[in-house]
Amino acid sequence: MDKKKLSVVKIGGNVIENTTELDKFLTLFSKIEGPKILVHGGGKLATQLASKLGIASKLVNGRRITDADSIDIITMVYGGLTNKKIVGKLQANNCNAIGLSGADGDAIQAHKRPVKNIDYGFVGDIDGVNTNLITTLLNADLTPVFCALSHDGNGQILNTNADTIASEIAIGMSKNFDTTLYYCFEKKGVLLDIKNEESVVKHINSNKYQELLDQKIIADGMLPKLENCYHALHHKVTKVCLGDIEMIKTDATLFTTITI
């Protein structure tokens, strides 16, 4: 029997911070047919709120340290304000959404990242996804909206990379669904020429991926994104798509599809 198709869509801060762009995205997302899941990052709002409260954001080598004060603010902003605004706007688009953190329904279990050279604080590395819960919600015609928070099972909320959350949810759900993972970001896809927005590589398979790595076309911030994509594909996710918010339109053509 053919598996039902499932769309897992992740949006980043660049969409969340632009109200017009976010509204446009949520209208498009609502029109995706069949079961779907949304995962969102945090944007700069947590940093702005911390600053207003007189709490300094700590960075080491450009990576945020999530201390006790920061995790409280991140929980407020990601799990509260940002998540509920998105859920409210989806309801306005006739999409019956339900907002979740990893702690809700024991949805995403994680452990605090072990200290090696740097103590990242309350940052979580994912151990498992509660696919039974998510499937139950989808079967009830609900659309789960996950923020970038997990939990350790002992009462501690953990800040967790949203790309990783989207990837792990897609992997977990692939046992029962034909799953496509969409990463929406500011570019139209993987670009052959970073200065030319139209130079999108429309399809990347393993051979093409190696070729682009050798040519240093995939580099810098694109490297971890593509590594995440292939991690998902090697764990039974059907395909991963990278592009801007237009990618989720039914007639979209200019984006990157990544397969094994």
68-81 average pLDDT score: 96
151-164 average pLDDT score: 97
pLDDT digits 0-9 by tens, 167-225: 999 999 999 999 999 999 999 999 999 899 999 999 999 999 999 999 999 988 889 88
Which of these, 50, 48, 45, 49, lies nearest to 16 by C-alpha position?
45
pLDDT score of 1: 67
Q: Which residues is 179 bridged to in the sheet?
A: 6
Straight-line distance from the first to the last Cα atom of the chain, in angstroms, rounded to the nearest whole number: 23
pLDDT score of 171: 98
87-92 average pLDDT score: 98
Cβ burial of 197 (10 Å; 0-12, 13-18, 19+) is middle
Q: What is the pTM of this model?
A: 0.96
pLDDT score of 211: 95
pLDDT score of 221: 84
Distance of CA 71 to the CA centre of its chain: 19
CA gap 39, 166 in Å, rounded = 6
CA gap 83, 233 in Å, rounded = 27
pLDDT digits 0-9 by tens, 22-63: 999 999 999 999 999 999 998 789 999 999 999 988 888 777
pLDDT score of 61: 77
pLDDT digits 0-9 by tens, 94-148: 999 999 999 999 999 999 999 999 999 999 999 999 999 999 999 999 999 999 9
Cβ partners under 8 Å of residue 168, min gap 6: 108, 126, 129
User: Is the confidence at residue 80, as pLDDT, over 80?
Assistant: yes
Write down the CATH number for the domain with range 4-258: 3.40.1160.10
Domain-wise residue ranges, the chain:
4-258
pLDDT score of 58: 85
pLDDT digits 0-9 by tens, 218-257: 988 889 889 999 999 999 999 999 999 999 999 999 999 9
What's the mean per-residue pLDDT of the chain? 95
